[in-house]
Amino acid sequence: MSDHSHYTPPLADMAFVIDHWLDAPADWQRIPAFAAVDADTARMVCEAAGDFCAGQLAPLNGSGDLQGCTLQGGQVQTPEGFAAAYRAYVEAGWPALACDPEAGGQGLPGLLDAALNEMIASSNHGWAMYLGILHGAYACLHAHGSDALKAQYLPKLVSGEWLPTMCLTEPQAGSDLGLLRTQAVPAEDGSYRISGNKIFISGGEQDWTDNIVHLVLARLPDAPPGTRGISLFLVPKRIPQADGSFSPNAVFCDGIEKKMGIKASATCAMRFEQAQGWLIGQPHRGLAAMFVMMNSARLHVGLQGLGHAETAYQLALAYARERQQMRAVVRPAGAAGAADAIVHHAPVRRILWNLRVWTQGMRALGYWCGHVIDLAAHAPDAGERARAAALAALLTPVVKSFFTERGFQLASDALQVFGGYGYVHEYRIEQTLRDSRIAMIYEGTNQIQALDLLQRKVLAASDGQGLAPLLEAFRAEAALPSVHAATLHNWCGKLAQATDALARDAAQDAELPARAAEDYLRLIGTVALAFAWCRAARVADAAHADKRESARYFFDYVLPDAEHWLRLVQAARHPVAPV
Amino acid sequence: MSDHSHYTPPLADMAFVIDHWLDAPADWQRIPAFAAVDADTARMVCEAAGDFCAGQLAPLNGSGDLQGCTLQGGQVQTPEGFAAAYRAYVEAGWPALACDPEAGGQGLPGLLDAALNEMIASSNHGWAMYLGILHGAYACLHAHGSDALKAQYLPKLVSGEWLPTMCLTEPQAGSDLGLLRTQAVPAEDGSYRISGNKIFISGGEQDWTDNIVHLVLARLPDAPPGTRGISLFLVPKRIPQADGSFSPNAVFCDGIEKKMGIKASATCAMRFEQAQGWLIGQPHRGLAAMFVMMNSARLHVGLQGLGHAETAYQLALAYARERQQMRAVVRPAGAAGAADAIVHHAPVRRILWNLRVWTQGMRALGYWCGHVIDLAAHAPDAGERARAAALAALLTPVVKSFFTERGFQLASDALQVFGGYGYVHEYRIEQTLRDSRIAMIYEGTNQIQALDLLQRKVLAASDGQGLAPLLEAFRAEAALPSVHAATLHNWCGKLAQATDALARDAAQDAELPARAAEDYLRLIGTVALAFAWCRAARVADAAHADKRESARYFFDYVLPDAEHWLRLVQAARHPVAPV
């Protein structure tokens, strides 16, 4: 029996995407911040990250799920080995990977941080939750914190010595942050007193780090209602004193959730009782201060979908090669026994091909998203930065929603390969399925992402060209001679038409975009995958001939999805009665 | 906050299906076995069954999931209250519902047993597992047991005093029963000594009944290899003696599985060590003896998909009416607050409509399947019995696969309505999602069902008319004047064409059916749903006007799926390379 905790970092495919599909080293060369980074650097970083994930995190995944977390007397106990793995992570310097060298970081591209995060999600999603916000909190504080706050907290976050949390959600305020009630009252010393209850706080309490840096959304006394009255505060679990000691802060963990998955992650209900906090950014501009972390946060959740799909593929493929049941219609050469490995059965083979082309296609798109976020921040030319930012704005909701929905679906498909064994813990795939489900919900539900894409980004553009940055990228690929270029070109036209029709019809039917948004996002995602495979087949050299076979499978068996999403976008013209 | 363990039996919709959609009472009247059953009987049975499920089973669902089962010293402890609920079930006479009156049963139609089973699955799938095989074991023994075996065991099964298990699967033999190795050696007294290991045995050990009646597949010493050498044996946990006492049998529970869901069900690894057993039916004809229970077993698994969908719909609807987040694009009349109930938001409303039309459409189809199984057994005319049997043979794999796949998907859709709360245990929907997943696997994986449908039933018919019984039923509905008749008629033509094309192309490409089977089953399932909604809209009187609105939603938003499955069936002509 194969070792079910085994994880093989997909280094070859990562290198294909980074070096060939993206040709990222060429971009790095012309970007001053990344001039020292080349393909070899990227490969070495991915290898070392893969070693860490496969060696330290994957072996703890199953036991972490079974043990879960416990809360006693306000203290959280995380599963065995989890804190030690984090210490090793910190000692290896991983938290600093993509941080500014001036703040003590290594200054590597966010693209490599994306690769790292994919592998962490593949190996141990529960563990990943404690540092999910680490880079985002760094970026937020780096961009909006006062010098004093930065001096005190930034080095601790860059090193990973302290971990941050993001305290947004309240019982009555989930997707609608405008409803949040946590109060912040100014104190005489320039700090604030924060009072309120927050829920679903990952790592709100843990036994990994000496201190926890909570980023808390709250309302000042003079705040206007709704989302325009929300401010952001830094509230440490323990307040650092000038002499290096700490004084306790009034921050309490009242409970941890019993969840479907990511059981190794302590999802905390937090209570702030006149806790001392410090304002980050401007009063009432808390959401704007958080905005700096939004694109990469969404990308990283999307990469969890990719990471789960990769794990599901690896698990299902290994099992299908081993498990013998019945004779295949087309038996492998030399087969003589009573049964063949199920990898030879057509229904299983289709599941495995789906897993493969989705996973590899999502990797290309996800890393592309990571790369354009890098370009938006660091490209030398302002025009290029703006174009990259526009592209990132469109790509991130697609990556977040489309990948997480499909990661869950693919995990379920992979589970089916195992038959009854798929339903038991030992084979790990059921955990992948459970863990993957959360990514469709947090960091903005997939429904919210779809509305963001269609309403706020595509349709709100006054020139009707909201989708243009993405369409242009697709069309540029379709203009290059390749096997699948004509098909891609055809789909660019259908996408443009469908978008124009939505814009036109929405003028008469204000609710139409809300009815169409999810299927519209899936349509864009599927065409984006077609773009990914068209390009992959084009740039694949002899060493990557399998990419052409995979592209063929994608265009034969997966692209038909696009027709379906298009038809459902059109169906959305029908009104939907109250339930 | 609503009570999350609440379950409302869908009595009104059940009555609509039984009385109007099926017009079952008219059939019962002309069937001697059911002549005493009428619409009122059916309604009273459903009401009483619903009371039992809502009152006794649903309240234990969440606690059963959290507690799970334990195994100590070979003894299984089931969750608190489970055994008592079973005693109440037995005392109320529910096991005897659809059993032959000559064997002590109530002789009611299997259709009503189907309704009961839907509600049990909705309320507590884990609990249901212990009696999942109860009626099937009765039917098997009733049809194939010796008089001595029947005298000793049948009354105990009809009353529910003893519970049976079905011991098929072995570690190396899951979908491929031909690989099973358990041995049966004849003893001098006419019984057999059974030795071997079985896995995934639901209720293989439990603390509910004094005895457990294992039905065990095993090989006699002279058995030919493969599925033609399998015999069926009755192996009691404790052997009843002439004086009313018991002697222990060599049947041992070695372990219970840690599973994704249905945690209240003890899924046992069983060891038979020269255990005493008795042959049921003919030597080497064990699968034929089991065949008598197959259709209703598959139907009941399909009904679990329906039951989970119903629960998911109820939970999501209740939550969506309560939870306030953001203002809807079209606000409800009089809305003035900062937010509206999310039931008014279009993306949520679409999920709820999907849940509703799928659930109610599946109920019509599932009950139809139950009714034709009744007709196949009891219709006075041999020709009608044969036609009903042919229809049941086509419907059961569709109901099993299509309903369970969609039950899982709908549970996931419903979970999304809850946002983060959906991922925590308290709101129950995550349990529904986990529990529902097993139904896609057991009782023949959905892939096996699809191959059964397309290869063994549709394409194997020598006259090319394998799908005819189902198509004729659809066409008869499409021939009656109604709003959606033309659309249904159109789809009957496409279905016939697609089937003919598969038959033709399969002659040149032996693997084609195996590549196309799953999407072909989904295509048939979707057209069957169109049939269900076409008929529902036609037969709905003024009291059921909502059926017409639901049918409209189905034809606008769900039927486009059929185009997709058709396109994928056509895509399956493309060969799929080895992985």
Question: Could you report the per-residue pLDDT of A497-526, keeping only the tens digit for each?
Answer: 999 999 999 999 999 999 999 999 999 999
B176 touches chain A (CB under 8 A): yes
> In the predicted model, is pLDDT for residue B130 greater than 60?
yes
Residue in this structure with the two tokens 């050498």, named with its chain if needed: B229
Place of tokens 């032996």: B510
Task: Return the pLDDT at A298.
Answer: 96
Query: Which pLDDT score is estimated for A94?
Result: 97
Residue A3 has a pLDDT of 59
Angle (CA) B493-B498-B504 rounded to 5° is 125
pLDDT value at residue B462: 81
Give the domain A143-285 fold: Butyryl-CoA Dehydrogenase, subunit A; domain 2 (2.40.110)
* pLDDT, mean over chain B: 96
Q: How far separated are the first and last CA of chain A, in Å rounded?
A: 50
Return d(Cα B153, Cα B215) in angstroms, integer: 12
Structure confidence at residue B2 (pLDDT): 47
- Per-residue pLDDT, averaged over A133-148, amounts to 95
Give the helix/strand (H/E) hosting A290. helix A286-291
Q: What pLDDT score was predicted for residue B33?
A: 94
| Rounded mean pLDDT, A86-114 | 96
- Strand duo B163-167 + B212-218: pairing: parallel
For chain B, the residue count is: 579
Give Cα separations from B48 to A295, B105, B160, B549 (angstroms): 55, 17, 18, 30
B330 touches chain A (CB under 8 A): yes
Which residues 434-453 of B are in CB contact (within 8 Å) with A? 434, 437-438, 440-442, 445-447, 450-451
A47 touches chain B (CB under 8 A): no
Give CA–CA dist A37/A374, Å, rounded. 13
Instruction: Say which CATH topology domain A294-571 has.
Output: Butyryl-CoA Dehydrogenase, subunit A; domain 3 (1.20.140)
Both structure tokens of B269: 């690894």
Phi, psi of A210 (to 5 degrees): -70, -25
pLDDT for A185 beyond 70:
yes
| Chain A contact present for B331, CB below 8 A | no
Record the tokens describing residue B542, joined without a space. Answer: 């003024």
Q: B178 to chain A: which residues are within 8 Å by CB?
A: 326, 338-339
pLDDT at B4: 66
Contacts of B260 in chain A (CB under 8 A): 423-425, 430, 433-434
Q: Any chain B CB within 8 A of the CB of A180? A: no
Q: Taking the alpha carbons of B195, B196, B197, B202 in that order, is the dihedral positive or negative?
A: negative
Query: Is A416–B511 a contact, with Cβ atoms under 8 angstroms apart?
Result: no
pLDDT of residue B103: 92
pLDDT in tens, A408-433: 999 999 999 999 999 999 999 999 99
Does A312 lie at the interface with B, CB-CB under 8 angstroms? no
Which pLDDT does position B291 carry in this prediction?
Answer: 84
CA dist A183 → A195, A236, A250, B193, B571 (Å): 5, 16, 14, 74, 58
Residues of A in contact with B412 (CB under 8 A): 408, 437
CA dist., res. A77 & res. B145, Å (int): 57
pTM over 0.80: yes
User: Is residue B517 less than 8 Å (CB to CB) from chain A?
Assistant: yes
pLDDT in tens, B221-273: 999 999 999 999 999 999 999 999 999 999 999 999 999 999 999 999 999 99
Please tell me which of the candidates B346, B518, B577 has its beta carbon nearest to residue A576: B346
Helix, strand, coil tally for chain A in percent (to 5): 60, 15, 25
Q: Is A273 on the interface with B (CB under 8 A)?
A: no
Query: What is the SS3 assignment for B267?
Result: strand
How many helices (H) and strands (E) in chain A?
A: 20, 11
Query: Which of A424, A446, A578 minimises the CB distance to B257?
Result: A424
- pLDDT (tens digit, 9 = 90+) per residue, A312-362? 999 999 999 999 999 999 999 999 899 999 999 999 999 999 999 999 999
Residue A252 has pLDDT above 60, yes or no: yes
Measured at the CA of B455, the angle between CA B454 and CA B457, to 5 degrees, comes to 70
B200: enclosing H helix or E strand: strand B192-202
Put simply, the answer to whether B326 touches A434 (Cβ < 8 Å) is no
Closest chain B residue to the Cα of A436, Cα to Cα: B423
- Say if residue A1's pLDDT is above 60: no
Q: Quick one: DSSP state of residue B101?
A: G
Q: Around A446, how many Cα atoms within 13 Å sit in the side-chain half-sphere?
A: 32
Q: State the CB neighbour count (10 A cutoff) for residue A268.
A: 26
Chain B nearest C-alpha distance from A212 (Å): 23
Q: Least CB-CB distance to A419: which of B330, B445, B514?
A: B445
Q: Rounded distance, CA A344 to CA B145, Å?
A: 39
Gap from B317 CA to chain A (nearest CA, Å): 8
Of B176, B421, B549, the CB nearest to A577: B549
- Residue A478: its H or E element: helix A468-478
Looking at residue B421, its pLDDT comes to: 97
CA dist list (Å): A543 to A537, B61, B82: 12, 55, 60
Could you state, in order of their start, the residue ranges of all structural domains in chain A? 143-285, 294-571
- pLDDT for the residue A522: 98
Q: Can you give the pLDDT at residue B360? A: 98
- Chain A CB within 8 Å of residue B476 CB: no
- Whether A427 and A421 have beta carbons less than 8 Å apart is answered as yes
Q: Which residue has the tokens 């799920």?
A: A65
C-alpha to C-alpha distance for B18 and B51, rounded to whole angstroms:
19
Label residue B1 by pLDDT band (50, 70, 90).
Answer: very low
How many secondary structure helices (H) and strands (E) does chain B include?
19, 11
Do A143-285 and A294-571 come out as alike in CATH topology? Answer: no
Nearest by CB to residue B424, choosing from A258, A346, A416, is A258
| CA pair distance B71, B66, nearest whole angstrom | 16
Q: Which of A118, A205, A405, A443 is catalytic?
A: A443
Suggest the residue from A66, A175, A202, A260 to mutate for an interface test with chain B (most B CBs closer than 10 A).
Answer: A260
- Cβ atoms A57, A51 nearer than 8 A: no
**One-letter amino acid for residue B566 of the chain:** L
ipTM: 0.97
Helix (H, G, I), strand (E, B) or coil at A219: strand
Active site residue A443: yes
Nearest CA in chain A to B419: A441
With contacts defined as CB-CB under 8 Å, which chain A residues touch B329? 510-511, 514
Q: Do the Cβ atoms of A579 and B320 come within 8 Å?
A: yes
CB B321 within 8 A of CB B341: yes
Q: How far is B409 from chain A (nearest CA, A)?
A: 9
CB-based contact B347 A515, cutoff 8 Å: yes
Residue B532 vs residues A108, B51, B284, B310: alpha-carbon distances, Å: 59, 27, 41, 17
Contact across the interface for A571 and B557, Cβ inside 8 Å: yes
Identity of residue B47: E
Are the Cβ atoms of B556 and A578 closer than 8 angstroms? Answer: no
- Render pLDDT for B409-439 as a digit per residue (tens, 0 to 9): 999 999 999 999 999 999 999 999 999 999 9
Q: Measured between CB atoms, which of B260, B438, B556 is closest to A574?
A: B556
What is the average pLDDT across A138-154?
96
Contacts of A13 (CB under 8 A, 6+ apart): A360, A363
A323's tokens = 């498990």
Catalytic residue among B118, B430, B443, B518: B443
Question: Which alpha helices (DSSP H) does A23-161 contain, by range?
Answer: 24-30, 39-52, 58-67, 82-91, 110-123, 125-128, 134-144, 147-159
Q: In the predicted model, what is the mean pLDDT of residues A21-44?
A: 97
Length of chain A (residues): 579
A425 vs B260: CB contact, 8 Å cut-off?
Answer: yes
Q: Please give the radius of gyration of chain A, using alpha carbons only, rounded to the nearest integer.
A: 24
Q: Which two tokens stand for residue A483?
A: 């096997």
The answer on pLDDT for B138 being more than 70 is yes
* Alpha helices for A418-511 (secondary structure H): 429-437, 446-451, 468-478, 485-506
Contact partners, residue A405, CB within 8 Å, separation at least 6: A305, A440, A446, A522
Q: What is the C-alpha separation between B344 and B348, in angstroms, rounded?
A: 7
With tokens 């946990």, the residue in question is B237
Does residue A198 belong to the interface with chain B, where contact is any CB pair within 8 Å? no
